[in-house]
Amino acid sequence: MTERWYKNGLIYEVGVRTYADSNGDGSGDLRGLAGRLDYLAALGVTCLWLLPFYPSPWRDDGYDVSDFYGVHSDLGTLGDFVQLVQAADDRGIRVIVDLVLNHTSDEHPWFQAARAGDPAFRDFYVWADRRPADAESGIVFPGVQKTTWTYDRKARRYYFHRFYDFEPDLNIDNPVVRAEMEKIIGFWAELGVSGFRMDAVPFLIEPAGARGLAPGPEFAHLHAFRQQLSWRHGDVILLGEANVEREEIGDYFGVGGLHMLFNFTVNQRLWLALAREDARPLARALAETAGIPASDQWANFLRNHDEIDLGRLADDERADVFAAFGPDPDMQLYERGIRRRLAPMLDGDRARLELAFSLLLTLPGTPVLYYGDEIGMGEDLSLRERESVRTPMQWTADRNGGFSTARQREFAAPIVSKGPFRYAEVNLADQQQDADSLLNWLHRALRARRQCPEIGEGGWETLPTGNASVLALRFRSGERETIAAHNLAATPRRPNLRLSGSAGALVDVFSDRPYEPAGERVELGPHGYRWLQVRA
């Protein structure tokens, strides 16, 4: 199924700069990452998502791009990039890259030319002679960002920026800008990428007239990107970052032409469900995001490089998630998100970590894993904003955690060296040696997931469980059928899943042994999970 490769497998999100340093300069690099491909292939990774690695002043973790056609000199060269793509391909791993088209860095030559009044570039950005009245609305980063329109002394005008003031928005309504965007997409597609994680899609497709308002029905530009790819590179996908209302989802997949979207609705409600030990919010989120076209797919995640965005929860719901997973104000961001990693949020509790990962692997869609979460890495709250969750990968208990041979003060980001999640305590090498480690459990879980392709490809339904704490989903594809049941409560449950409706014998996928339900009931331990496959 190469043309639908994104319907199954494991996407691994990695910050190149904090993964593995091959040349001892303190910055992770593409060659360092290439050196870890065997580990990633063995884990079961089928697709790498590289966070931005382009030339950049690096004030927004590389999302402030100053050259769309290169590699940041600390991270390597274009040659290293091509070598990485080829080496990954040798191991059956695809590569998708971040595509940041909403804005550039203010150091990008286009912006420099535009503000100097060069007529060829002025309309690459969005300008106003006077400060627009709505300049304080539509701010994405409250607290760190005061406005969406900033005065530029050189241009003597205001420019629009959805995000930080050093990230001026590109004017996608300008056909010359769109031609540049298509060139960028074409360039990386020719270099062999299998897809693009499109940054900030809702803002990208806003028509200029609606700046500061909700996205309009202007999906034509997005669709043009999809068409461009379809003609030349049929299996290259667009994975959109769009945290939008459910009514809008259809347009992003349909007219917009995105192949995948991150399921932010499910992510927020998953955390709510875990906080309340109540599966119903998650079941509702799944129902709300069901029914997407068969060729499209959700990308599910627990954590990523940003804060967990709880912006779509009601106040009391958000309060419950904060109380459970980020009670300290320092753990919160913009009063609506949590800037922590998975393992500390769950107190390093193994049963809850397994529950969370087991859910991730059995939600309708394709799972996305954030680097370091496979070993239960922690965060560093002394770092600014979202930097807390972007610390170096912890490879070993040795000096520098095996990340780099440089002196620690030269590191691109400090490594976690204190507290219960320090690299001496939490690292890959130790977990590889230990058959009972989280890493080796995840290996087994991912192997089990590969035995159930119907989870990614098939249709699914929620089974009534008669129990608010239990989520049970049935996946079917052709003759294949799997039921995944999860108990979110800290006490055991015995839901009635009416298993007699399934034609065939039940096999517990993890143990690969026949499963005999007690009557119709399935035993689930505290925070327990069970995947049952129906075999003829």
| 325 binds ligand NOJ per the rule CB under 6 A | no
| 200 binds ligand NOJ per the rule CB under 6 A | yes
Smallest distance from the beta carbon of 388 to ligand NOJ, in angstroms?
13
Between 235 and 248, CB nearer to ligand NOJ:
248
Smallest distance from the beta carbon of 305 to ligand NOJ, in angstroms?
6
Between 43 and 144, CB nearer to ligand NOJ:
144
> By C-alpha distance, which of 366, 392, 398 is closest to 379?
392
Tokens matching residue 51: 């966070």
Strand order in the sheet with 332-333: 308-309, 337-338, 332-333
Alpha-carbon torsion angle 419, 346, 523, 281, nearest 10:
180
- Alpha-carbon span 76 to 309, nearest angstrom: 32
| 371 binds ligand NOJ per the rule CB under 6 A | no
Smallest distance from the beta carbon of 100 to ligand NOJ, in angstroms?
6
Smallest distance from the beta carbon of 163 to ligand NOJ, in angstroms?
4
Site for ligand NOJ in 140-169 (CB under 6 A): 163
The vertex-267 CA angle with 263 and 270, nearest 5°, equals 135
- Stretch touching ligand NOJ by CB under 6 A, among 60-68, 251-259, 266-274, 365-373: 60-68
Per CB under 6 A, the list member of 12, 19, 49, 63 interacting with ligand NOJ is 63
String of DSSP letters for 411-475: SSS----SSTT-TTTS-HHHHHH-TTSHHHHHHHHHHHHHT-THHHHSEEEEPP-S-TTEEEEEE
- Alpha-carbon span 228 to 182, nearest angstrom: 8
Smallest distance from the beta carbon of 374 to ligand NOJ, in angstroms?
20
Taking residues 240 to 269 in sequence order and writing x for each that binds ligand NOJ by CB under 6 A, - otherwise, the string is -x----------------------------
| 60 binds ligand NOJ per the rule CB under 6 A | yes
Residue type, 139: I
Give me the phi and psi of 180, to 5 degrees please: -65, -40
Tokens matching residue 248: 């809008």
| 196 binds ligand NOJ per the rule CB under 6 A | no
> By C-alpha distance, which of 441, 454, 464, 445 is closest to 534?
454
- Alpha-carbon span 367 to 273, nearest angstrom: 18
| 345 binds ligand NOJ per the rule CB under 6 A | no
- Stretch touching ligand NOJ by CB under 6 A, among 56-64, 79-87, 369-377, 415-423: 56-64
Between 117 and 142, CB nearer to ligand NOJ:
142
Smallest distance from the beta carbon of 337 to ligand NOJ, in angstroms?
12
Site for ligand NOJ in 278-317 (CB under 6 A): 306
List, by residue number, the catalytic residues: 199, 241
- Alpha-carbon span 441 to 432, nearest angstrom: 10
Residues at the contact surface with ligand NOJ, assessed by CB under 6 A: 60-61, 63, 100, 163, 199-200, 241, 306
